[in-house]
Amino acid sequence: MNDLSGGLGARAIAAREAPYLDILNTAQREAVEALEGPVLMLAGAGTGKTRALTTRVAHLINTGHARPNEILAVTFTNKAAREMKSRVGGLLGTVVEGMPWLGTFHGTSARILRRHAELVGLQPNFTILDTDDQLRLLKQVLQANDVDTKRFPARHLAGIIDRWKNRAWDPGKVPEAEAAKYDDRAGKLYADYQRRLRTLNAADFGDLLLHVLRILKEHGDVLARYQRWFRYILVDEYQDTNVAQYLWLRLLASSHRNVCCVGDDDQSIYGWRGAEVGNILRFEVDFPGARVVRLERNYRSTQHILSAASAIISNNLHRLGKTLWTDAGDGEKVRLIGHFGSDDEAAWVGDEIVAFQDGLGGRDGISPDDVAVLVRTTFQMRAFEDRFLKIGLPYRVIGGPRFYERMEVRDAIAYLRLAVSPEDSLAFERIVNIPRRGVGSKSVRFMFEVAREKDISLREAARRLVDDGAFTAPARRALRVLLGYIDQWHAQTREGADPHVILAARILDESGYTHHWQQSKELEAPGRLENLKELVKSLEQFENLQGFLDHVALVTDNEQETGEPRVSLMTLHAAKGLEFPVVFLPGWEDGLFPLQRSLDEGGLAALEEERRLGYVGITRAERHCFVSFTTGRFVNGEWRRGVPSRFIDELPEDDVEILSDPGLYGGGYAPTRSSADRSSGLGPDSSTHSQIDTPGWRRASERLPVSGRPRVDTSVSTRVVVVDGSAYKVGERVFHQKFGYGQVLVIEGGNIRVAFEKSSEKTIRADYLESAPPARP
DNA sequence: CCTCATATACTTTTT
DNA sequence: GTATATGAGG
């Protein structure tokens, strides 16, 4: 079994005193000390979940129940895994040489799969495809099936396949009722795609889990080994697990049932990605006799913030229910303010942050590090970035574009991938003509055809064609050289004669890639060379190229260099698990938050998920929480009016302080308050209170003219969609600004397929359409 | 074979 | 408004 130890030597740990237990509250302590048997820890926001979880790990090790490498701990994100690692280390005092089996579902799966790849028809050096590769491959599959990628985009197919994989459905195992929801070619395309993946010796994200699942199901001996090896299993964010992950866990835990799942149904925000809240709701059925521990004491936020969050979430019907409490005192109320556009909103947030920094308005000086701006969608970030840049406020975007996504880095990685797995056709395709080798699209297409026909890799196809004397002479010569190098590099990765860092540098040199940028006159060329250097240097942290490539494929978060304090800017999703003294929640407008698009897709369930997002947002705040909305904003270069979010209606008056002039809600005049006014205007304001007392938010927002936003009834009719009180029906005549008049063909949620009279058939979002009188004969 | 211009969609969230 | 994709022209 030593092959599972991840290089960690056996280590006998004698039971010692456990001082770390003393700082836990009763519930936490119960969850930590119940080491044997199934435990479900229902941990509300800010209730010390991570503390309980990490203490439990430390306790397992410290009491000699398990060695660090015998504990399987799975998290949802890399960030969480890192956090757990460092905190367990801190608790144990001694530096435990890591926990090899603490990681994300995907990372852990990849690790297991590398050991047993052959059982599912892969070689151990299989490539993990990132989203980009996946899309390119899907596009090829679509084209090979003569599907018009305009009408059936690769993204769409990716979404379907993803959904199916989340539920652990192999091709051919997709239930008919499910398959019927989509284009009837989807099933075959899925099967083709899987076939291609196998040919390419590649796995996508979903495959990592599914392949392991299949191995565990079909090979009892392998399953038994892992069951024996992983003596204790811990799962973080259990509410986020999908069916495939659930099955994966249940198999591994089924023998000893020493499984501890931690989660909060109120923070389930990944339903759209296949997460099944049902998993957490069903835990006691799956593991009879499970001990359920509720962590309800909140250590993070003050009372007003907690009450506001609780009030919002209480509108959800489907929840286990928890009552969070705190003795941190009332604190500040949640502040609510409206603006006239995203720029105003961003300007106001910027000013507030500066005021905080300077300790104005009776506030302590607060560092930008303590402030977060949490948005619903990424496009909202732009206004804030622009503004922060303008006023010189340092910020960091969490989850923004990543190092590994830069073009030159991806190119370089493609070369490394080819060295590790020469059959990686997607990598081959990427670099076959970079730097330019005179191999143009015509040659590439030729190779593709042969590869597909013979079901071989691109590199193999290229080799045969070169041998047969195909291509132009220069292309042939260049390809021969490239193919020779690939063989050579691959051999060298296996020999391991040179350290992988040296080898990588040589690959980039011999391929001519470094030279390509050295020669380039592009403005960014020096920067790109710099990035390549950084890339090679970062290889030092890994044991070998394979390890590095897995990391690149699986680790998508970018911890920014620390340094000067910065405001954090991120989506609500990215904020889960984080906390900040000051939190801004902009863009609370119906349509944006809750997001119309998700409502269109998911109806009432989606509305509840949006509400949970709001709950997550508010509960990130420790002391100051600001909610804001605008009366309109530019979307797609078009001005759109906005109505305060229905979630604003759900905020209890007692916990909210209104900073806006009442006029904003009636859609009337513009309040022109200077930023000085605003930052000092934190006290109660009688005129605004009368506003909320009498008409109420609901009526205020109902009064507002609603234009341009489809108010789709969530009971979801597919035949009628209502916009501004006007209904569209199939067959009706409509008007579009750009395409003119047309006839409604199909209605899919907020999208309408229209046959235009002077243009082609197009799917248009309902809010771009207007009703038109029937055409006169 | 590459660059430029035009058209078109696209804005949910991510391992 | 912006990013991407495709097609025409150099």
pLDDT digits (tens, 9 = 90+) for A236-246: 999 999 999 99
Q: Which pLDDT does position A408 carry in this prediction?
A: 81
Q: Residue A684: what pLDDT? A: 29
Tell me what pLDDT residue A110 has.
94
Report the distance separating Cα A413 and Cα A486, nearest Å: 14
CA dist list (Å): A588 to A267, A646, A749: 18, 8, 22
Q: Nearest-CA residue to the C1' of C1?
A: A637
**CB neighbours of A146 closer than 8 A, spacing ≥ 6?**
none
Please state, in angstroms and rounded to a whole number, the distance separating the CA atoms of residues A538 and A403. Answer: 11
Q: Is residue A132 pLDDT above 70, yes or no?
A: yes
Q: What is the average pLDDT across A761-775? A: 58
Count of CB atoms within 10 A of residue A321's CB? 11
Q: Which nucleotide's C1' is closest to A764 (Cα)?
A: B9
A164-173, A481-490, A558-567: lowest mean pLDDT where? A558-567
| Contact (CB, 8 A) for A687 and A714 | no
Provide the pLDDT for residue A597: 84
Amino acid letter, A89? G
Least confident of A19-28, A61-70, A729-738: A729-738
Q: For A190-218, what is each residue's pLDDT tens digit?
A: 999 999 899 889 999 999 999 999 999 99
pLDDT-derived band at A42 (thresholds 50, 70, 90) equals: very high
Would the pLDDT of A676 be above 80?
Answer: no
Q: How far apart are CA A39 and CA A295, in angstroms?
A: 13
What is the Rg, in whole angstroms, of the alpha carbon atoms belonging to chain A? 28
Please, is A583 exposed, middle or buried when counting C-beta atoms within 10 Å of its C-beta (0-12, 13-18, 19+)? buried
Report the pLDDT averaged over residues A721-743. 56
Q: Please name the residue whose C-alpha is nearest to the C1' of nucleotide C6.
A: A150
**Residues 127-186 of chain A in contact with strand C via CB under 7 angstroms:** 149
Q: Which of A297, A324, A228 is nearest to A24 (CA)?
A: A297
Find the mean pLDDT for residues A695-715.
34
User: Which pLDDT does position A33 carry in this prediction?
Assistant: 92
Task: Give the pLDDT score at A747.
Answer: 62
Phi, psi dihedrals of residue A303, rounded to the nearest 5°: -60, -45
DSSP sequence for A412-461: HHHHHHHHH-TT-HHHHHHHTTSS--S--HHHHHHHHHHHHHHT--HHHH
Range ranked top by mean pLDDT from A120-134, A148-162, A657-671:
A120-134
Predicted local confidence at residue A621, as pLDDT? 95
- Which candidate, A626, A613, A621, places its Cα nearest to that of A298? A621
Three-class SS of residue A395? strand
Which of residues 595-634 of A have CB within 7 Å of strand C? 634
Based on the number of CB atoms within 10 Å of its own CB, is A268 exposed (0-12), middle (13-18) or buried (19 or more)?
Answer: buried
What is residue A164's predicted lDDT score, i.e. its pLDDT? Answer: 92
**pLDDT value for A628:** 93
User: A638: which nucleotide lies closest, measuring CA to C1'?
Assistant: C1
**Nearest DNA or RNA nucleotide to A598 (CA to C1'):** B12
Whole-number distance in Å between A521 CA and C10 C1': 21
Which amino acid makes up residue A445?
A: R
Structure tokens at A69: 């490498």
| Percentage above 70 pLDDT, chain A | 80
Least reliable range by pLDDT among A114-118, A653-657, A664-668: A664-668
- A580 - beta bridge partners? A621
- Whether the CB of A636 is less than 7 Å away from nucleic strand C comes out as yes
The answer to whether residues A459 and A395 touch, using CB atoms and an 8 Å cutoff, is no
Q: A446: buried, middle or exposed (CB in 10 Å: 19+, 13-18, 0-12)?
A: middle
Task: Give pLDDT, residue A8.
Answer: 36
Residue A232 has pLDDT above 80, yes or no: yes
CA-to-C1' span, A298 to B5 (A) = 58
A200, two tokens = 């390419």
Question: Is residue A741 predicted with pLDDT exceeding 80?
Answer: no
- Could you give the 3-state DSSP secondary structure of residue A676? helix
pLDDT average, residue stretch A13-26: 71
Mean pLDDT score across all residues of chain A: 80
Question: Is A667 in contact with A701 (CB distance < 8 Å)?
Answer: no
Give catalytic residues of A, as residue numbers: 49-50, 236-237, 267, 620
Query: Nearest residue (Cα to C1') for B10?
Result: A636
Average pLDDT over residues A400-429: 83
Sheet architecture: strand order including A39-43: A102-104, A71-75, A232-235, A259-263, A39-43, A291-295
Protein-proximal nucleotides of chain C (any atom < 7 Å from a CB): 1-2, 6
Q: Which of A149-158, A345-354, A560-569, A735-744 has the highest mean pLDDT?
A: A345-354
Give the residues across from A733 on adjacent strands: A743
Residue labelled with tokens 């020779």: A484
Q: What is the pLDDT of residue A700?
A: 39
**What is d(CA A775, CA A741) in angstroms, rounded to the nearest whole number?**
9
Footprint of strand B on the protein (CB under 7 A): A 76-78, 104-107, 131, 153, 155, 162, 205, 269, 272-273, 377-379, 399, 433, 436, 438-443, 475, 554, 556-557, 571, 573-574, 595, 597-598, 601-602, 635-636, 762-763
Q: How many Å does it take to go from CA A611 to C1' B12?
A: 14
* Mean pLDDT score, A443-460: 83
Q: What is the phi/psi pair of residue A451, to 5°?
A: -60, -45
| Whether pLDDT at A41 is above 60 | yes
Give the amino acid at A212: V
Q: Which phi and psi angles does A634 have, rounded to 5°?
A: -80, 125
Q: How far apart are CA A27 and CA A49, in angstroms?
A: 11
Q: Which residue has the higher pLDDT, A283 or A560?
A: A283
Q: Is the CB of A675 under 7 A from strand C?
A: no
> Do A305 and A619 form a contact (C-beta atoms < 8 A)?
yes
Q: Which residue has the tokens 């079994």?
A: A1
Residue A19 confidence class, pLDDT cut points 50, 70, 90? confident
Task: Please choose, from the candidates A499, A461, A553, the residue with its C-alpha nearest in 3D space to the C-alpha of residue A129.
Answer: A553
pLDDT, tens digit, 9 for 90 and up, residues A96-123: 667 899 999 999 999 999 999 999 999 9
**Residue A745: per-residue pLDDT:** 67
Predicted local confidence at residue A102, as pLDDT: 93
Indicate if CB(A378) is under 7 A from strand C. no
- Do the Cβ atoms of A418 and A428 come closer than 8 Å? yes
Residue A373 pLDDT class (50, 70, 90 cuts): very high
The residue written with tokens 């771009």 in the block is: A768
CA of A401 to C1' of C3 (A): 14
Higher pLDDT, A4 or A169: A169
A159-168, A380-389, A732-741: the lowest-pLDDT one: A732-741
Helices (H), A555-705: 572-575, 596-618, 646-649, 663-666, 675-680, 686-693, 696-703
| Residue A750 vs residues A86, A258, A714, A731: alpha-carbon distances, Å | 46, 46, 11, 16
As a rounded value in angstroms, the CA-to-C1' distance for A34 and B9 is 54
What was the pLDDT predicted at A764? Answer: 62
Nucleotides of chain B in contact with protein CB (under 7 A) are 1-2, 9-15
Sign of CA dihedral A725, A730, A731, A734: positive
